[in-house]
Structure 1
Amino acid sequence: MENQTAPIKPIAYTYGLYSALISIAVLIIMYVANLDKSWILSGASFVLGVLIFVYGIKAYKNSNANNLTLSQAIKVGLAIAVIGGLISAIYSYVHYEYIYPEFIEMQKETAYQQIIEQNPDLTQEQVNKSMEISSMFLNPGFFSLMSILGSLVFGLIVSLITGLIMKNDN
């Protein structure tokens, strides 16, 4: 007889959406409150992110007759991360391209100032070349890509730890 396991999709969609909503809420709060960096907001976002993955994996375990392998925990965690990361990336792109494009320009200006301060002997041509390279990473597309990759790495680490704690291999 085949060993049936619970489907991952519904849990991934639900908890991935929760994860994305947290990321989007943080971006919106930072924009509305005109915050550049907030340790409190980052800490709260981190804790909520961990909880979303833990509860998502726990929900999968409960729907799977209380059985969970490490492999299943990682699959669930990565599925949540993909859904959450994609939604967050789409919003991130829209946010930095249309809602708050000034942020990109402010980051470029900060990068320019740092290049000049850290390397006062550079010629203008060298500074321009450095800025050209920096600009490749200071755009909405790159921020969106980092949103997806960050979500995947975070999801992998949290689901690995959660899976090691919750697994029962029955």
Structure 2
Amino acid sequence: MELQKAKTGKFVLNYGLLLGIILVVVGVIMYVTNNHLEPHWSFMLLTFAIFVAVVIYGIKAFKTENGGFLSLGEAIKVAVGIGLIAAIIGGLWTILLSTVIEPDYMVQVEDIQREQMIERFPEMTDAQIDDALGMSAAFRSPWVNFALGLVMYMFFGLIIGLIGGLIMREKRPYDV
């Protein structure tokens, strides 16, 4: 009797959508509480904890539907896929926020960076601060942030999938 293997795509889509929606809700909460420009560390910790929990739960659900079996490759595939879907949804929220809801978002970010540089480096001249901010201007684009978010979430998915897969893996017995 041959066991049917579960498909990773269903879990990637379902848990990726779940994580993406949760990330948007956290983003909306940050916006409403005026923490979107300078987020408190607790929002970052909460976001990371939610990310880990949803990815691990997605891997566990895949293993359960797969007859209790899980390879390291399957765990990584599910985790990276969940990270990719969540990053796309979260990135779309960020683009919506920074181009439609708050069109001067990037200007506000630059102003905050300028204030922080003046506080941290009081010996810098205005020209030096302008040069430093000019170099970082390319990274303030919503599309660059979207791309960096994709890479970051897929990387975290890879790490969590690797760790979770090593802990939860269960090899399929060979058919005789």
Q: Which residue of 1 aligns with 2:154?
A: 152
- Alpha-carbon contact 1:96-1:104 (below 8 Å) kept: yes
Tell me, yes or no, if structure 1 residue 94 matches structure 2 residue 128: no
Structure 2: gaps spanning 5 or more residues? none
Q: What corresponds to 2:26 in structure 1?
A: 26
TM-aligned CA deviation for residue 129 of structure 1? 2.8
User: What is the aligned partner in structure 1 of residue 144 from structure 2?
Assistant: 142
Q: Would you say the 8 A contact 1:111–1:134 is kept in 2? A: no
How many residues align structurally? 170
Whole-angstrom distance in 1 between the partners of 2:22 and 2:151: 17
Match of 1:38 among 37, 40, 43: 40
Q: Does structure 2 retain, via aligned residues, the 8 Å contact 1:22–1:49?
A: no
1:58 to 53, 60, 64: 60
Cα distance in 2 for partners of 1:166, 1:122 equals 52
CA distance in 2, matches of 1:26, 1:146: 19
2 CA distance for matches of 1:81 and 1:119? 37
In the alignment, is the contact (CA less than 8 A) between 1:6 and 1:60 conserved in 2?
yes
What is the TM-score when the length of structure 1 is the normalising length? 0.87
Counterpart CA distance in 1 for 2:116 and 2:33 is 25
Q: Secondary structure at the match of 2:162?
A: helix
Structure 1 residue matching 2:89: 3-state secondary structure = helix
Amino acid at match of 1:134: S
Aligned counterpart, 1:131: 133
Cα displacement (A) at 1:117: 4.9
SS of the aligned residue for 2:70 comes to coil
Query: Cα distance 1:46–1:124, how it changes in 2: closer, same or farther (>3 A)?
Result: closer
* Whole-angstrom distance in 2 between the partners of 1:71 and 1:4: 17
RMSD over aligned Cα atoms: 2.3
Q: What is aligned with 1:164?
A: 166
Alignment of 1:111-126 (within 5 A): 111-117=113-119, 124-126=126-128
Could you tell me which runs of 5 or more consecutive residues in structure 1 were left unpaired when the two chains were aligned: none
Alpha-carbon distance in 2 for matches of 1:95, 1:120: 32
Q: Give the structure 2 partner of residue 8 of structure 1.
A: 8
- Code of the residue aligned with 1:19 in structure 2: it is L
Identity of aligned residues (%): 32
Q: Tell me by how many angstroms 1:155 deviates.
A: 0.9
Q: In structure 2, how many angstroms separate the alpha carbons of the residues matched to 1:113 and 1:49?
A: 31
